[in-house]
Amino acid sequence: MKKIYIILIALFISMCRAQAIEEITQGTTLTVNDCIELAIKNSPEVQIYKEYIELYKARLGQSKASYFPSIGASGGYDFNNTETRYRTTNNKNFSASVYLNQLIYSFGKVFSQVKMQKFYKIAAEYDYKNSILNTTNRVKSAYYGVLAAKANLDIQKANVAVNERQYNRSKAFFEEGLVSKIDLVNQEVYLSDAKISLVNAENLYQNSIVQLNNAMYIINAPDYQIENTETFNFKNNYAEINLINIANTTTKDDGTIEPKEAVLTMQVEKTNILENYKFKKYPYTLEESIERAYKNRPDLLSMEATKDAVNEALKYTKKEYFPNLTGQVGYNWANNTIYSTNGFNIGAYLSTSNLNLMETKMRIKESKSQLEIAKKNVESVKQNVYFDVQSAYINMIQLEKNIPLMQTRVKQTLENYELADARYEVGLGNFIELQDAKENYNNAQRDYVQNIYNYNVALTNLQTAMGET
């Protein structure tokens, strides 16, 4: 009884989960799998290939119908009026018959036809899987695009906050005579550039959402959130903005002017994009990836199933030289003006249907050519699979190698930025040095986010090339 309750609860949860992603509601949070499920549900391409499966199921059923008997019936009425010089006669004829035909042996024609339709149905199923695979690829790429755009947007927001604080500090220093007018003007320029970059980042973020909605085939979607993935798990945790106005200065014995109780007033904006990022190396070699692709790629498996179907079509055509052996059971009844008859009949027949030897010979030749074409298509797709996996693998590995290097770069530029800020704060550094350090740190973060995005897209492309989601 306890197990039954557990099963019912699990079913209820799954039903609630399914209902939750039937459509996007205001403020909901979606995972990448939710987005993929919505895309598969809404994709016209996926639905078309799904209907192809039903189409070939119907054709398979039609081919199997030859194993079952066919029933026929007929009835008629005939009136004949004959006038001669001596007399006039009227004949009324009634007739009816029912019969049952059963194919006894077709010399393998029906068997080949059934197998041919089975292979076409299998090919349609792989085509359906391939459409899901391509849809999944588009959704994942768009999904990662939103995550990357969001991370970049947060970086630009932090950059504006940094430049606003630098401007306020430069203004305070200028009013105290600690920096020149050009430093203040330059900081105004940097602040304007940061705001422009923020506007561009917001536009990129909005466009990335449009691309994701498009990949899910959703029009007029409400506002929603998406979760980080295992391979794209930045933690957006930014420091609070605390402006410190520098009002007092002091002069050291060596003549250096610095603020009283000098502190790191910038509180360098740490975007913490490295925090909690879990990076796992790809577990398969190139050779293993190619072997997995040969086993899993739906388009390759579909082409192989199509080749098998064409081979069965050739076998069927060759067997058209042979007749069909059929049996028939029937009942006939007739009644006319003079007498009436009725009776059963049973028989077996060998028959061919409009056999044209030359036409059949040419059809066999055509089927052989189609089989050779199908074989070449399989070879072509197999080569494409090899190069698809090889190219995607090389690209992914290169980006994978860059991740730890770019992580180090972000940490190094942050450390350099903090040092430059501290030097500028106490009058030991200059404005250009500070701005260069800030730009290097900002660029390192953007490049890191872009590399993570490129890596995730490359990994998705590799998985697609391997026939995996």
Mean pLDDT, residues 3-31 taken together: 53
No. of helices (H) and no. of strands (E), the chain: 9, 8
The DSSP letter of residue 355 is -
In a domain, 49, yes or no: yes
Q: Which domain holds residue 425?
A: 24-64+106-322+368-465
The DSSP letter of residue 282 is -
| CA dist., res. 175 & res. 127, Å (int) | 71
CB 330 within 8 A of CB 347: no
CATH number, domain containing residue 165 = 1.20.1600.10
Residue 165 gets the label, from left (phi > 0), alpha (psi -120 to 50) or beta, of: alpha
In a domain, 88, yes or no: no
In a domain, 19, yes or no: no
As given in the structure block, the two tokens for residue 389 are 């996996």
Give residue 383's Cα distance to chain centre. Answer: 22
Number of folded domains that form the chain: 1
**Helix, strand, or coil (residue 75):** strand
**Sequence letter at residue 133:** L
Strands (DSSP E) found in 262-323: none
In a domain, 203, yes or no: yes
Q: How many other CB atoms are there within 10 angstroms of residue 408's CB atom?
A: 12
CB 406 within 8 A of CB 236: no
In a domain, 362, yes or no: no
The DSSP letter of residue 228 is -
**Sequence letter at residue 97:** S
In a domain, 282, yes or no: yes
Question: For the residues of 260-282, what is the DSSP string, one character each?
Answer: TT---TT------TTTT------
Pairing verdict, β 225-226 and 29-30:
parallel
Q: How many other CB atoms are there within 10 angstroms of residue 240's CB atom?
A: 7
Q: Which residues are CB-neighbours of 110 under 8 A, at least 6 positions away?
A: 63, 66, 67, 103
Specify the pTM: 0.77
In a domain, 4, yes or no: no
As given in the structure block, the two tokens for residue 217 are 């085939």
Which segment, 49-63, 142-156, 327-341, is predicted with the most confidence on average? 49-63
User: pLDDT tens, 375-426?
Assistant: 999 999 999 999 999 999 999 999 988 888 888 888 888 888 888 888 877 7
Comparing CA positions, the residue from 273, 224, 184 lying closest to residue 31 is: 224
Which residues sit opposite 52 in a β-bridge? none
| CA dist., res. 421 & res. 268, Å (int) | 8
Residue 306's pLDDT band (boundaries 50, 70, 90)? very high
**Helix, strand, or coil (residue 104):** strand
Report the pLDDT value the prediction gives residue 10, as an integer from 0 to 100.
41
For the chain, give the mean pLDDT: 80
Residue with the larger pLDDT of the pair 39 and 227: 39
User: pLDDT tens, 221-242?
Assistant: 888 888 887 777 665 432 222 2
| CA dist., res. 194 & res. 200, Å (int) | 10
Residue 296's pLDDT band (boundaries 50, 70, 90)? very high
User: pLDDT tens, 55-77?
Assistant: 999 999 999 888 888 888 888 87
Sign of CA dihedral 198, 202, 205, 207: negative
In a domain, 79, yes or no: no
